[in-house]
Structure 1
Amino acid sequence: MFKNITLSEIKQLENEVSYQPNQVSSKTIAQNKYVSITLFSFDKDEEISAHKSKGDAMVTILDGKSKITIDDKEYVLSKGETIVMPAGIPHALFAVEKFKMILTVVFPNE
């Protein structure tokens, strides 16, 4: 089930999470054992250091520009671009400029 978002209403997702000075902010809109959907905002130069996920993680940039590192390979993404970070592979995110994204993680059936 969705939470923290109004149902049956047209949304501009980038407006659902605000930039905060010197912070990474997030708003979870769905989470269960199969999927997690979270909106994020990163102030410029903020980051999430390298880590692994148990599920495949898809990032879509809603605003701004991010450098995403997947297994030591760097990708620079801008508004409207998407990349999938495979499960079990180290990945990190860095705000080249302030940016917003939606993160969808799909977990394996166990």
Structure 2
Amino acid sequence: MDNGHTTTGAGNTDLEKAKTHIIVEIIEYMANAVVIKTIIRKSTGNISIMSFDSGEGLTEKTSPFDTFAQIIEGRAEIVIDNVSNYLESGQGIIIPAHSPNFIRPNGRFKMIQTVIKSGYE
């Protein structure tokens, strides 16, 4: 799982607005790493694209906000409250606020993660 090889993408800024993007091509795989590139960062939430090399995952965490995870390439196992959810490209899941969750390695994959912070004031 997360062996401390998490990399944040250079140029961690919003994508060019009013322009079409091929989302799966915005981020590349890096050997033995999880790469994270935030494409929108606002006080009300953010959207990040992540790539996971084979054997890489994320350790258990709990967020105070709802999080939407969508697989855009490959397959992933997302464990929420000790329940495994197997997702394939094109599938997504809402991780409820305050629910312990982690991503178990299941081959290379890419995903979009959207965190919504508004509504929690």
Q: Give the TM-score, by structure 1 length.
A: 0.93
In the other structure, the counterpart of 2:120 is: 109
Alpha-carbon separation, structure 2, partners of 1:52 and 1:109:
15
- Selected match of 1:11 from 21, 26, 47: 21
- Tell whether the 8 Å contact from 1:60 to 1:83 is kept in structure 2 after alignment: yes
User: Where does the alignment leave 5 or more consecutive residues of structure 2 unmatched?
Assistant: 1-12
Secondary structure in structure 2 of the residue aligned to 1:64? strand
Aligned partner of 1:60 in structure 2 is: 70
1:60-102 alpha-carbon deviations (Å, 9 max, x no partner): 1010110100000001111000000000000001231100000
Q: Pick from 89, 111, 116: which aligns with 1:79?
A: 89
Structure 1 Cα separation of the partners of residues 120 and 40 of structure 2: 17
Runs (4 or more) in structure 1 with deviation over 4 Å come to none
Matched residue count: 108
Q: The residue matched to 1:96 in structure 2 has which SS?
A: coil
Instruction: For structure 1, list consecutive stretches of 5 or more residues without a partner in the other structure.
Output: none
Tell me the SS of whatever aligns to 1:14: helix
TM-score for both structures, normalised by structure 2: 0.85
Q: Which of the residues 40, 52, 55 maps onto 1:30? A: 40
> What RMSD in Å do the two structures reach over aligned CA positions?
1.1
Aligned counterpart in structure 2 of residue 50 of structure 1, from 52, 60, 66? 60
Percent same amino acid among aligned pairs? 29
